Amino acid sequence: MKLDSYIENSEARLKEVEQAIAQFDFSPSKQAEYQALNREYQRLQRLLTVWKECEKARAEIEGNRELLEAEEDEEFREVIESDLAELETKADRLDREIKTLILPPHANEGRNVIVEIRPAAGGDEAGLFAGDLFRMYSRYAEEQGWRMEVLDTAENAVGGLKNVSFSLQGDSAWSEMHLESGVHRVQRIPSTETQGRIHTSTVTVAVLAEAEDVDIEIRNEDLRVDVYRSSGPGGQCVNTTDSAVRITYLPTGLVVYSQQEKSQHRNREIAMRLLRSRLLEQLQAEEDAKNAAERRGQIGTGDRSERIRTYNFPQNRVSDHRFGVTLYDLSNIMEGGIGELIGEIRAAEAEQLLARELGE
C-alpha cells in the first residue's frame, strides 16, 4: 500500500471512528473500549492535519523554487531563499511526524513512564554524568509540560548520582522517551582531571512503561517485604526508623526497593509501582518473543562498547549509533534541548517500520 492510499484509508477510518464515538454506549464496562476509540480518533485526526500541513508546505516550496528561477533582483532572491529554507525545515519536521503517526500505536502509547538512571563504567565521572542526564531529562519534561516525580535517588561522595528513578506523567511521555533506553557514553575532561585528559564513561538509562493495577495481578503471598533504615552517601544512616522498603517477587526473584521517602507506607507504594512496571516489561518481552519480533535490550552490561549514544564534549557532538543521527548541538541538548534529537531518532525508527506497514 502506497502512502497516498494509506491517507485515503485513514480519512475513511476517521469518519467511522467519529460515528462510533457519537453512537457509543457509555456504560462503565465499556470505558476501556471508549478510550481506545478516542486514542485512535486523536491519532488519525493529528495524522491528517499534519499531512495537509506538509502538502501545503511542499506546494509553497515548489512555488518558491519557480519564483527563484525567474527572479533576477538579488535582494529579493535572498528573501525568497530565506523563506525557502524555513519551509524546507518545516516540511522535513512534518514529514518526520507523519512517519511516526502512520504506524499502528504501540500498546504502551499514552502511558506514563518510569526512568531509571545509573552510572556504569567510569567511577565518579559516570556518577556526575548520570546527574547531568537527570537534569537534561528534567528540563525536557518541564518543556513538554509533563509532571515529574522523583521516586528514588542516591548521591555519591562527589555530588554525582549513584542512581535515580523518576516518573514522567504525560500523554506523550512513552512515545518521546522509550528510545532513550540503553547505554549512554560520555567523552569529556572531568572536573577532577588535573592533566586535561579526556575520559570515557558510561551511564545506563532504562525507560519502563508504568503499569496500572489492572495490568498486573500480584498476589500478597507472592511477595516478601523487608524494611530497613535508609542510607545516604558512604552508607551512613539518614533515617532513624525502618522506613526503607525492599520487595521481592518470589515467583521470579525480582527485587525492587525504595528509600526516598520518610514514610514506610510511601516507600512501599513506590516499590510496588516499580515492581508492576518491571513485570509489565517482562510480559511484553515474552509476548514479543512469542511473535518473533526483534526487541532491543535496554541496558546490557553497561560496558563502554554497548552503547546507543555518545556525547562528545570536545566536539560539541551527540551521535546516536542505532540510527546514524549526529547533531553538533551538545551544549543545548544537555540543557534540555533534546527535542530535535528525539524527533530525528523517532523518525529513523519509523522509517524502518514504515516499509513493512505499507507493504513496500
Read off the pLDDT of residues 168-204 as tens digits, 9 standing for 90 and up: 999 889 989 999 999 999 999 887 666 778 889 999 9
Read off the pLDDT of residues 254-280 as tens digits, 9 standing for 90 and up: 888 788 777 788 888 888 888 888 888
Pair 171, 314 in one domain = yes
What DSSP state is assigned to residue 297?
-
Cβ-based neighbour number of residue 311 at 10 Å = 23
Q: How far is CA 62 from CA 4, 21, 77, in A?
A: 19, 39, 15
Q: Which residue, 269, 290, 311, sits at the end of a domain?
A: 290
**Quick check: 37 and 17 in contact, CB under 8 A?**
yes
Cβ-based neighbour number of residue 1 at 10 Å = 11
Contacts of 55 by beta carbon, 8 Å cutoff, 6+ apart? none
Helix runs in the chain, H state only:
3-22, 31-70, 74-101, 124-144, 173-177, 264-290, 330-334, 339-358
Cβ-based neighbour number of residue 359 at 10 Å = 8
Q: Which residue, 290, 310, 341, sits at the end of a domain?
A: 290
Closest C-alpha to 278, from 347, 341, 215? 215
pLDDT at 360 over 90: no
Angle CA(110)–CA(111)–CA(114) in degrees, nearest 5?
145
C-alpha cell at 40: 485512535
- The answer to whether position 346 is within a domain reads yes
Q: How many folded domains does the chain comprise?
A: 3
Pair 13, 144 in one domain = no
Pair 132, 11 in one domain = no
Mean pLDDT, rounded, for 103-124: 85
Distance CA 134, CA 128 (A): 10
The more confident residue out of 113 and 72 is 113
Strands 182-188 and 309-312 come out as: parallel
Q: Which domain holds residue 190?
A: 113-210+296-358
Pair 175, 307 in one domain = yes
- The answer to whether position 215 is within a domain reads no
